[in-house]
Amino acid sequence: MVTLASILTALLLLGLVIIIDMFLYKVSFLSSLQLVFDVHLSIGGMYLIVACLFGLAVAVVIDFRRGKT
Amino acid sequence: MNKAILLFLCLVLVSTAGCWDQAELDDITVVSGLAIDKGKEHKYQLTTEVFNVTALDPETRGTETASILFSLEGNTIAELAKKMNVIATRKLIYSHMRVVVMSKEIAQEGLLEALDFFEADREIRNDFSFIVVENVPAKDVLKINYPIQQVSSLKIHEQLDTMVKEWGGDPDIRMKDFIAALLSPGREPIAAEVKVIGSPEKGKTRSNMEKVEMDALVILDGLAIFNGMKHVGELPIKHVRNFLLLQDKLRRTSITAMCSEDKWMAARITNSKTRVRARYDNDVPKFNVAIDLEGRLETIQCPMEIVDLQAYLDMEKQFSEAFEKEIEETIRILQEDFQLDIFGFGEHMERQNYQHFKEVKDEWNEEFAKADIDVNVTLKLRRTGLINDPFLVEMEEEE
Amino acid sequence: MYSAMVEKISLLQLFILIFLFQIGSAVVVGIAGEAERDAWIAILIATVIGIIIIRLYTYILSYQPGTNLFDIMGQLFGRNASMIISLVYTTYFFYIAARVLRDFMELLITDLFPNTPIEVLSILFMIAVLYVIYLGPEVLGRTAETFFPYIIIFLLLTAIFLLASGDIKMHRLQPILAEGFTPIHDAIFPGLIGFPFGEAIVLTMFMALTNKFQHVTKVSIGAVIATGLTLSTIKIVSISVLGTELSERATFPLLTAAREIAFADFIERIDPIVIFVMMLGIFIKVSVFFFGGLKGLEYVFQVPYRYFSIPIGMIVALFTILIASNYTEHIEEGLQFVPLYLHMPLQIGIPTLLAMIIFIKGKQKKGGITNAE
């Protein structure tokens, strides 16, 4: 459940950001998606990816442990 | 066990904080001043004066000078500021800059877009003096050393600071004031102006400091008047204090007046308060400037009996009138010769009569030129020093 | 419900939370820019509106004291519809948390750490936030209570030092109301309402947790008044030190003003004091929005919110970076899109709807009783 929630949240937020960019730059959905991942993410993106993977890993562990009880 | 891990993590966090932004004292050189000249091949030539720390401590000083200059050419000050390592060894730190000197050429051509870098950069603060140099390239100003304060930028900054406090001979301009005046429709910017006397070539070696009469000196020369970003003229020092007075920024000064033919008297002003009333009379802007001064009598060359109250009040009146004339002369020069409102009368009008000002604010300088400005000085001399009557009075009595 | 019983914060902590929350990012970036010199007047007027807004929120909460916004929406709209709306609000809360964090990170990077990657700072900050929230809202309440005196002292010190340095020139505020009320009106609608006053909607999560619910309205209104006065004063200080043009042009006006402090020959260069104030305000704000979003997830997924802290915390850190590629875009978003399309419907629109439904239900109940007699 936790993992599901996290991924859902991430997707929803991503959706919001894409919509906002669509509005600001007046581009289509796909270009906006590309914008987000190309332009917005900067050099330190590696740290973020590690952090998110860590977060997801924790989510999976939590689900696992809760599933047991 | 948990506490140990936590403690370890805290230590790690603290010691790695800022590892990208670390700057050890050993790795930096502090910049004391900047000089901006017109470049030959590029837009600007930037000269930085940096502290030579070993020379500042008498124990480690050899024959080195207290500061060193580096010059580079480029199109933006920002790029040049970080490029200085073409010549210098360490990273340059601009946070403690004391002075920015601009050559007259740069000022006359209005090439002051460089100011944007000073405003935006996080290292550069608003505490440096802003100066135009009259007769030599800007970088020559930084070459000239001085025995009591060996680093040129520090000397100039301290000199300006003291001058403001003691006589009002420096307009106390900082970058923020300059830009605010630039943007304000009711005021034109100014900057301090300096001049180099003597030879900069001789002034840059230690030998300059080894003489009783120095080879080269940087002296204050009044203020530089700007129309927008362009430098258009100068006002000699005697007017600078009137300028400060009209802005209610004067701290202390000395004024002189004639008490009789070829004989002068001087008073020391210790407190001043200026109030400006602005209004419109038909289409003519009218200003009433009320100046209240407080001070003491310093010297009088006439044999006047100071203890006589009537004579004393007459003397005060003579001072007031003479000073009024001086101030009105300063204003007149700006109105007739330059047609530029450097005093900020426009800002007073903006505050007191906004509607009318709004209509004319794009041509305020012309309005200022035709304005009717009335100056009223009230001087109160509280004390006369350690003596009651000057010795000249006794001499007269003996005759 | 289940968790609301266990966690409690005191009324004083609620006051402090609301106050620090609302001044939190408003002191970092400037507000009410459209009103220029009269921005302080705009803020004071907006405070009155802020009071109305917060009264609206406490009214909604009074429908079922002790529960939060999501539970109430569940009651009124039915489980399925409210799940969707809750997800909308959750996304909104996390988005604003990321925005607010981005504001502060931009400040840190501009002034203190120009060479450090922004991601590292964001992740470190979020670790602190998620840990505090994981421990529970009481911990946040206590943290706020502990740091509150320092914030007040530092703000006061900044103002006093500026006075002592002679940098405050009240005449820069003149002419007052030169252009009339139009610029003030422009500043208030929709800007000032959404930020910072409307954001109190997320504070409804905390209002439920106090031990004496009947005083919540008074405390909240008091906090809003305190906020309005403080922000207005800070704006006055900022304009009187920098002048209108520079105050509008500076990215972080209070910081630029504080950099002018220089007196007694050694009280100068005290940027960190101002940054400390900002950091605490931002911390409270991000924590509150984060908590609000987590509560939303708790409502939708029926899982205690604690478990979500770490994964969602990392995701918020990620989005702090993803929301904008540069500062200009970030500000543009904040001025063009956010107030109109996010703040208005979610802070005013839906709550008003809720309030009307509650009001009607209340009337029906009374009507029902009289009918039965």
Cis? peptide before B236, omega within 30° of 0? no
Structure tokens at C124: 């470190």
pLDDT for the residue numbered C370 = 47
Q: What is the CA radius of gyration of chain C?
A: 21
User: What DSSP string runs through A49-66?
Assistant: HHHHHHHHHHHHHHHHHH
Residue B73 pLDDT more than 80?
yes
pLDDT for the residue numbered B15 = 63
Domain-ending residue, one of B235, B250, B279: B235
Residue C371 pLDDT more than 50?
no
User: What DSSP string runs through B56-84?
Assistant: HSTTT-SS--SEEEEEEEES-HHHHHHHG
CB–CB of C268 and B127 under 8 A?
A: yes
Q: Which residue of C has its CA nearest to A46?
A: C119
Q: Is B155 helix (H, G, I), strand (E, B) or coil?
A: helix
Residue B347 domain-assigned? yes
Q: Say which residue, C74 or B265, is predicted with more confidence.
A: B265
Per-residue pLDDT band for C270 (boundaries 50, 70, 90) equals confident
Interval A12-21: pLDDT, tens: 888 888 888 8
Whether residues B85 and B140 share a domain: the answer is yes
Chain A with chain C: Cβ pairs closer than 8 A: 115
Interval C108-122: pLDDT, tens: 888 888 888 888 888
CATH no., domain C2-353: 1.20.1740.10
Whether residues B198 and B286 share a domain: the answer is no
Residue B134 domain-assigned? yes
Whether residues B99 and B214 share a domain: the answer is yes
Cβ contacts of B358 on chain C, cutoff 8 Å: 178
Contact B352, C178 (CB under 8 A): no
Determine how β-strand C262-263 pairs with β-strand C267-268. Answer: antiparallel
Whether residues B183 and B252 share a domain: the answer is no
Whether residues B108 and B201 share a domain: the answer is yes
Per-residue pLDDT band for B3 (boundaries 50, 70, 90) equals confident
Touch between chain B and chain C: 3 or more Cβ pairs under 8 Å: yes
Domain-ending residue, one of B183, B212, B235: B235
pLDDT above 70 coverage of chain C, percent? 95
CB–CB of A2 and C94 under 8 A?
A: no
Interval B165-194: pLDDT, tens: 999 888 888 888 888 888 888 889 888 899
Asked if C114 is an interface residue toward chain B (Cβ–Cβ < 8 A), one would say yes
The total domain count for chain B is: 2
Structure tokens at B155: 């000397």
* Ramachandran angles phi, psi of C324, nearest 5°: -155, 145
Distance, in Å, from the CA atom of B314 to the CA atom of B310, rounded to the nearest integer, reads: 6
pLDDT for the residue numbered B71 = 92
Interval C127-149: pLDDT, tens: 999 899 988 888 898 999 999 99
Q: Say which residue, C367 or C3, is predicted with more confidence.
A: C367
Whether residues B210 and B312 share a domain: the answer is no
Whether residues B198 and B246 share a domain: the answer is no
Residue C345 pLDDT more than 50?
yes
Angstroms from C286 CA to nearest CA on chain B: 21
Q: Which residue of C has its CA nearest to B120?
A: C250
Residue C1 pLDDT more than 50?
no
Residue B7 domain-assigned? no
| Cα dist from C214 to C59, C288, C292, whole Å | 11, 22, 22
- Out of C87, C314, C324, name the one closest to residue A52 (CB): C314
Residue B4 domain-assigned? no
Range of the domain at B316: 238-399
Angstroms from A47 CA to nearest CA on chain C: 7
Whether residues B127 and B262 share a domain: the answer is no
* Ramachandran angles phi, psi of B195, nearest 5°: -140, 150
Domain-ending residue, one of B207, B235, B263: B235
CB–CB of C111 and B125 under 8 A?
A: no
Q: Which residue of A has its CA nearest to C338?
A: A20
Question: By C-alpha distance, which of C194, C96, C90, C333 is closest to A22?
Answer: C333
Domain boundary assignment for chain C: 2-353
Cβ contacts of C98 on chain A, cutoff 8 Å: 13
Residue B306 domain-assigned? yes
CB–CB of B18 and C171 under 8 A?
A: no
- Out of A9, A10, A24, name the one closest to residue C333 (CB): A24
Instruction: Please name the residues in contact with B133: beta carbons below 8 A apart, sequence gap of 6 or more.
Output: B101, B102, B103, B104, B140, B141, B193, B194, B195, B196
Residue C325 pLDDT more than 90?
no
Residue B2 domain-assigned? no
Per-residue pLDDT band for B367 (boundaries 50, 70, 90) equals confident
Whether residues B119 and B72 share a domain: the answer is yes
CA angle B339, B345, B351 (to 5 degrees): 140
Whether residues B221 and B256 share a domain: the answer is no
pLDDT above 90 coverage of chain C, percent? 14
CB–CB of A5 and C329 under 8 A?
A: no
Residue B395 domain-assigned? yes
Q: Say which residue, B180 or A23, is predicted with more confidence.
A: B180
pLDDT above 70 coverage of chain A, percent? 91
Report ipTM for this prediction. Answer: 0.87
Structure tokens at C268: 């100068």
Residue B5 domain-assigned? no
